[in-house]
Structure 1
């Protein structure tokens, strides 16, 4: 063995690549872990996005970081765009009494034969970041009731869940029935908070 041969040491330029690789491996491991932990999440059959579009009022949700400052009056407006895309406008009354507004974009999660209108992805990051997979979040329509009057929406990792209605004053028994269904699918319904709609 030639001892005079220098072994190259990692340079500063290699660290970003090493860090990115480590993060990618960690993300894949987390996905694999979630898949193993949760069974496949069934979705509503034959969703018509044209009929789904319009205004929905949130009645209940699992707590999440991006709605932390919402005190009530949560609503979402969906508008179908060309190329199977959807404009999303969320708003709520914030804890300081103002109105919090977030505008995003939705798209079908799959392509071609794999495309299912009940399985959407939504992003609220700027459009120029849309090529990054992490900016897209799952939005799966799990169940519709009453001719597009009530919707149960969640994510396959069971971390996000919403019950939506077309009217601010929802039928409590229908909201409860959707939450009961979510419980059978493995969602932690005992953590759900009810939304105030004034």
Structure 2
């Protein structure tokens, strides 16, 4: 009986600690005000909550100091949107934000790993759970496209931080209206 208990405990511990979230460094001297505005999704790791094309996010500062997050996508020919709230969780690390889209949902990590504010941003989200983790990564741009060489260079930044991007895919940004 003791042997069975030890084996089961070992399996549970092994599963619990397998596949933990990466802890990549975030953008140094992050300037939230420069990050605000519209970003277009160029590529991403699969995200069950994003199924459409022409995906974009718009970040704006609210009077209470929180950040309004407006995510939009074209799905089945119609614009879909969801509004959420982002907060800076630690003023010492302003590139580590938390995002929530429902009042009952805890803030989920939203880490800006790298940005030049004018053309690209790399964002990483990961939440550890008891037996698995949920991991997302995005390449954003201020325009609907980025040169392939830039995308490949940005992907290398994810890889060099231990983030598996083998399932990353391009977001369709063609056939979009100028403003959705």
Using the size of structure 2 for normalisation, the TM-score is 0.77
Name structure 1 gaps, 5 residues minimum. 1-28
Q: Residues 84 and 148 from structure 1, CA distance in 2 versus in 1: closer, same or farther, beyond 3 angstroms?
A: farther
Contact 1:58 1:75 in 2 (8 A): yes
Deviations 1:70-103 (A, max 9, x none): 2x10000000224541000000111x21111010
Structure 1 position 43, deviation (Å): 0.2
Q: Which residue of 1 aligns with 2:17?
A: 33
Contact 2:22 2:163 in 1 (8 A): no
Q: Which residue of 2 aligns with 1:105?
A: 85
- Larger Rg, first or second structure (1 or 2): 1
Contact 1:121 1:139 in 2 (8 A): yes
Structure 1 position 197, deviation (Å): 0.6
Deviations 1:138-166 (A, max 9, x none): 11000113x53200000245711000000
Give the length in aligned residue pairs. Answer: 155
Higher relative contact order (CA 8 A, sep 6+): 2
3-state SS of 1:174 partner? helix
Q: Which residue of 2 aligns with 1:143?
A: 114
3-state SS of 1:122 partner? strand
Higher strand proportion (structure 1 or 2): 2
Contact 1:41 1:156 in 2 (8 A): no
Equivalences for residues 177-196 of structure 1 within 5 A: 177-196=153-172
3-state SS of 1:189 partner? coil
Equivalences for residues 52-71 of structure 1 within 5 A: 52-67=35-50, 69-70=51-52
3-state SS of 2:166 partner? helix
Q: Which residue of 2 aligns with 1:117?
A: 94
Say which of 54, 58, 83 aligns to 1:73: 54
Say which of 34, 37, 44 aligns to 2:27: 44
Structure 1 position 52, deviation (Å): 0.4
Name structure 2 gaps, 5 residues minimum. 1-12, 128-133, 175-180
Instruction: List, as ranges, runs of 4+ consecutive aligned residues in structure 1 with deviation greater than 4 Å.
Output: none
Using the size of structure 1 for normalisation, the TM-score is 0.71
Higher helix proportion (structure 1 or 2): 1
Structure 1 position 173, deviation (Å): 1.4
Q: Which residue of 1 aligns with 2:136?
A: 160
